[in-house]
Amino acid sequence: MKRRRPRCTRKVTGRNAGKSTSKEQTWMKPKAPEADNLKIGDSIVVTIKRIGINGEGVGYYRRKAVFVPGALPDEVVKAKVAKTNPRFIEAKLAAIERKSPHRISPACPVYEQCGGCQLQHLDDAGQRAAKMEIVRESFARYAGLDNPPIRPIAAMADPWHYRHKAQLQAGTAGGHTVLGLYSPSSHRLVDIAGCPVQHGDINRAAGVIRSLLEQFGIPPWQEKSGQGLLRTVVIRRSSRTGEMQVTFVLTQDRLPKADKLIAGIRSALPDVVTVAVNKQDKKTPLVFGEHTRVLWGKPAIEERLGDLSYRLSPRAFFQINPEQTTVLYDYVKEAAALTGKERVVDAYCGTGTIALWLAPRAAEVRGIEEIPEAVRDARQNAQANGIGNARFFLGKSETLLPAWVKDGYRPDVIVVDPPRTGCDPKLLAAAIAARPKRFVYVSCNPATLAKDCKVLLDGSYALEWIQPVDMFPQTAHVESVILLVRKA
């Protein structure tokens, strides 16, 4: 009896000669599992297309999005599945099969453990391209704009040592006090002494303060047990004067051995001019509580941008990168296009930085802020700079602006610089009802920026331009200014 030739060696003739049939291919190489059938620990090969909003590489496996931290655009990587979801896959980088030409060695020794930066393994050109793509992708996805009017990103000449404020979580490791950041997706605190994106004076101050806290036995708060006192140490430095402000965020309003601690700080750190405490006893991701008290020194430090000086109390918001802040605010000024006749509302005004930047070219500026200390700082900043056409109101933007509009107040320009969560819907509704000629939006979150932009586009506004500004080099964060104008 004639023996049947094995399928794997079956001869194929005609137009299919030299090709394997689909059945043969299945026999010769097992079919990769479907995306919906993947299990944790499975290995997959992914081509990375772009950087995601959190700095992870984004690719696709059988049309399902895959997020791979540490992977870069145009790389082919082998990754192990860490989490599955009906809409996406999270995976850990296992090996790089094709390396990006923009991949470099990180400058920070704890870069991979810290999580404060996400892009130190990507060179400057790669970071700029990635951030432009993050903005473009956000507007395509959330605003429905496939080709949004994005300008080239405004980058820094020296993208290191730019941070003039540090918020360091307190904890213990190996029986010693640690000030640092939590490693991503963990409760492990990483000491970031010598952080290359922090100003050197802040790094030096953090090291001294950590030693003093340990010396005097100030107990750090323990997240798991809920015990302890010290939650966060906030250090701010003025780029103008070099003066520093230290705030201890506590679970109570009393700091033990405060006199000894202050004496130690004053002796070792003469540039520190303020020591304050803030009480935060709630389970919340917010750093500060509502009550702050200065234990010693000045109630505020002074910062300067351009020709303006700003008074900063411990809880007041101020941009952490002074060099790029002037660049950012000049784009806001360009977008506002003031002639001296306009009424301007600066919602989420903080200490009045943008409001005072615009006031010399406006007829009137009204700022809205819900933190009392910031409103007090803003009013004193206006007085100190001799600006009489800027007024600041305590309250929520989503409450005050609708009330003003109801009373007949119509601003010509509205400027917003909201938290990462974006504008309150009531504020956007009031802005659309007020019908200002120009709406200027400053944001550090491209996703919420694009979502809010869609609301304004649907409310008879047109998007003129988007200006990304690299306020936070080495991270995936990107600040943007957008200009929307009311349609005729």
Contacts of residue 258, Cβ cutoff 8 Å, sequence gap at least 6: 295
Closest CA to 478 of 110, 52, 114, 164: 52
d(CA 119, CA 469): 16
d(CA 200, CA 81): 39
For CA atoms 314, 315, 321, 323, the dihedral sign is negative
With contact defined as beta carbons under 8 Å apart, do 65 and 145 qualify?
A: no
3-state secondary structure of 409: coil
Other Cβ atoms less than 10 A from the Cβ of 467: the count is 23
Helix 425-434, helix 397-406: angle, nearest 10:
30
183-187 contact pairs (CB < 8 A, 24+): 183/113, 183/114, 183/115, 184/69, 184/115, 187/223, 187/224
3-state secondary structure of 141: helix
* Tokens encoding 427: 């504020």
With contact defined as beta carbons under 8 Å apart, do 59 and 72 qualify?
A: no
With contact defined as beta carbons under 8 Å apart, do 314 and 294 qualify?
A: yes
3-state secondary structure of 341: coil
Active-site entry in 349, 423, 444, 453: 444
3-state secondary structure of 485: strand
Amino acid at position 258, single letter? A
Active site residue 444: yes
Strand partners, 61: 64
With contact defined as beta carbons under 8 Å apart, do 67 and 50 qualify?
A: no
With contact defined as beta carbons under 8 Å apart, do 305 and 385 qualify?
A: no
Vertex 190: Cα angle to 189 and 193 (nearest 5): 135
The side-by-side arrangement of strands in the sheet containing 479-486 is 390-394, 364-369, 343-347, 413-416, 438-443, 479-486, 461-469
* Tokens encoding 230: 């010290």
Active site residues: 444
